[in-house]
Structure 1
Amino acid sequence: MKEHQNAENRNPRPSLIWYLENTIIDETFEEEDNGVTSNALTFPRLGREHLNARLSCQASNTNLSPPPSKVIILNINLRPLSVQIVKKQEQLSAYRSLEVECIVTGSRPAPEITWWIGSKPLRDNVINFSQSNLTRSVVQLVPEAQDHERLLICHAENPHLRAKSLEDTWKLDVQYVPIVSLKMSFSKKSNHIAEGDDVYLECTARANPRPSKFFWFKQVGYANRAQRQRRGFCERAKPGAAKCRNDSGEYKCAAQNDEGKATSNPVNLQVTYPPVCISSKNSQVFVVLEKETIELICEVNSSPPPDHFMWSFNNSKEYIDIDPKLEIKCLNFCYFTQISNVQD
């Protein structure tokens, strides 16, 4: 710091002396030819101890009157001395609100305090209040699953001394319900799954803590077993291969940990197989009169449903094609109704 004081046109010429409080710190004044006396003070290192100190320059050329003086009160910008996030918890639950407090000491004027999770600033629900050389900042934090293992940062800086900023960090351990997804894969490249093909359902769960159980569901019923936890936060389970038509249906999986249980997206497995006559009506004998009209029903089970039927007599090798304009009805099975006049 530099201060310069002059005294002009005094007779005899005055002495100019700098005081810090009541202590002389510089009495090396200069007398110039124009009658001016000056004392340029260089203060090498201002410290915290000089805050609000009285710096005065006195001009004196007689003992008969009190010396005139000029007083400066030192108002110093001070960097933060410490930043601390208090009460860092070992574990947090995702989406549960909590207050986190940060204390900053030593800054003058009051520091600017900002909160961050990783590189994302937290601007909402932040309250700052100062008292003496201590500033408190409170943020209402609602951690999310993706915040696990990210750093919560309390950053403090004096607006006049930004290069002297300080910060404290807290590595978050966020506990959250499993995030579960289900996907289907199979060995062959075709999009159609036939009986006998190997089909795998893979359940993946991202969770903290690790899932302790896995569950499998087919349509509305419980389908499989619980599975023991595995290493890592990405858990996988494979129920096996779907090899028969009864494996068709909608599948889901679920994972459970100490935070709760969550269910995956549904996956629909459709196993294709050729038409098969329903056994209860596979063979029937009809006795009819000549030219009598009868109704014959052919019922089959298949996936996908049939789009074409053919008829024949059991003593004939020829098949009769059915008019495609006629209706084929499909519920859990397909049937076609043929009404005909029986002749010789």
Structure 2
Amino acid sequence: MRSVGGGTVPPEGVQINDDTGPVKNELTSAYAEGASITLICLANGGKPLPRVTWKRDGKSITNETQYFPERRKSQSVLRIEKLMRSHLLAMHNCEVSNSVQSPPLIVRVAIEMYLRPLEVKLLGQNEPLSAGRRIDIVCRCRGSRPPATITWWKVSALEYLQ
């Protein structure tokens, strides 16, 4: 531990956890569109215990810090109630600082997501079908992540009408 002046000691490290545990390689676990997520930024050590702030696009989105002096830790919790497409790979910064004399420690995390298709279309000639005649129909899907798996099912007219 090095002192910054006036007995200030910088934090030793920062860790981000999501709902499944520690975040690795600056990327959360994958979450479905519409799901909620909790990100916890945990700072270890420092004297005084550091302030922990979440930012997105340079703007503070939460600066409520919880302090745990007995464990020499402080943290900030970021809860997003409903993930939207705009959260996909959105970079969130956790900034940890206990002194104006030294720059904050910054840890970045992006949110990985599964996205359902935005559109599914059948492409082909729009003509009546008849037995014994071949027709090509293409199913095109867009907007899903990962790419959608398209499956064709053959059903009888009676099953379809029920």
Normalising by the smaller structure, the TM-score range is 0.5 to 0.7
* 1:112 match: secondary structure: coil
Q: Which amino acid aligns with 1:102?
A: C
Contact 1:117/1:150 (<8 A) preserved: no
C-alpha separation between the residues in 2 aligned to 1:116 and 1:31? 57
Equivalent of residue 56 in structure 1, options 93, 103, 108: 93
| SS of residue in 2 equivalent to 1:49 | helix
TM-superposition CA deviations, 1:186-226 (whole Å, max 9, x none): xxxxxxxxxxxxxxxxxxxxxxxxxxxxxxxxxxxxxxxxx
1:40 Cα deviation after fit: 1.7
The verdict on how the C-alpha distance between 1:41 and 1:87 changes in structure 2, with shifts beyond 3 A counting, is same
Q: Which one-letter code corresponds to 1:75 in the other structure?
A: E
Question: CA–CA distance in 1 between the matches of 2:142 and 2:117?
Answer: 6
TM-score, normalising length: structure 2:
0.67
Between Structure 1 and Structure 2, the one with more strand by share is 1
Q: Higher relative contact order at CA 8 Å, sep ≥6: structure 1 or structure 2?
A: 2
Q: 1:33 aligns with which of 38, 58, 69?
A: 69
1:19 has 2:52 as partner? no
| Consecutive unaligned residues in structure 1, runs of 5 or more | 120-146, 152-170, 172-344
Please tell me the residue identity of whatever aligns with 2:114.
Answer: N
Shift of 1:64: 2.4
Correspondence 1:105 to 2:133: no
**Aligned ranges for residues 283-298 of structure 1 at < 5 Å?**
none
Where does 1:1-344 land on structure 2 (aligned, <5 Å)? Answer: 1-34=37-70, 35-118=72-155
SS in 1 for 2:113: coil
Instruction: After TM superposition, give the deviation of residue 17 of structure 1 in Å.
Output: 0.3
In 1, Cα distance between equivalents of 2:94 and 2:147: 30
Pairs aligned (count): 124
TM-score, with length taken from structure 1: 0.33
Determine helix, strand or coil for the equivalent of 1:2. strand
- The 8 Å contact of residues 124 and 136 in structure 2, kept in 1 or not, is answered as no
Q: Match for residue 300 of structure 1?
A: none
TM-superposed deviation, 1:86: 1.9
Cα pair 2:92 2:110 within 8 Å, conserved: yes
Compared CA separation, residues 18 and 75, structure 1 to 2 (3 A): same
Q: Any conservation in 1 of the 2:53–2:60 contact (CA below 8 Å)?
A: yes
Aligned alpha-carbon RMSD (Å): 2.2
Equivalent AA in structure 2 for residue 18 of structure 1: W
- C-alpha separation in 2, matches of 1:55 and 1:150: 49
In 1, are the aligned partners of 2:49 and 2:69 still within 8 Å (CA)?
no
Q: Aligned partners of 1:4 and 1:114: how far apart in 2?
A: 39
Matched-pair identity in %: 30
Give the residue type in structure 2 aligned to 1:28.
Answer: E
Structure 2: distance between partners of 1:150 and 1:79: 27
Inter-partner Cα distance in structure 1 for 2:75 and 2:159: 60
Counterparts of 1:79 and 1:102, CA distance in 2: 16
Cα displacement (A) at 1:108: 0.8
Distance in structure 1 (CA, Å) of the matches to 2:125 and 2:101: 67
CA contact (8 A) 2:50 2:98 kept: yes
CA distance in 2, matches of 1:21, 1:63: 22
Q: Which runs of 4+ in 1 moved over 6 A?
A: none
CA-CA distance at 1:150 after TM superposition: 7.6
How far the C-alpha of 1:82 sits from its partner, in A, is 1.7
Distance 1:14 1:29 in 2: 9
Q: Secondary structure at the match of 1:92?
A: coil
Give the CA deviation at 1:53.
0.7
Deviation at 1:8, TM superposition (A): 2.1
Give the superposition deviation at 1:88: 4.8
Q: Which has the larger Rg? A: 1
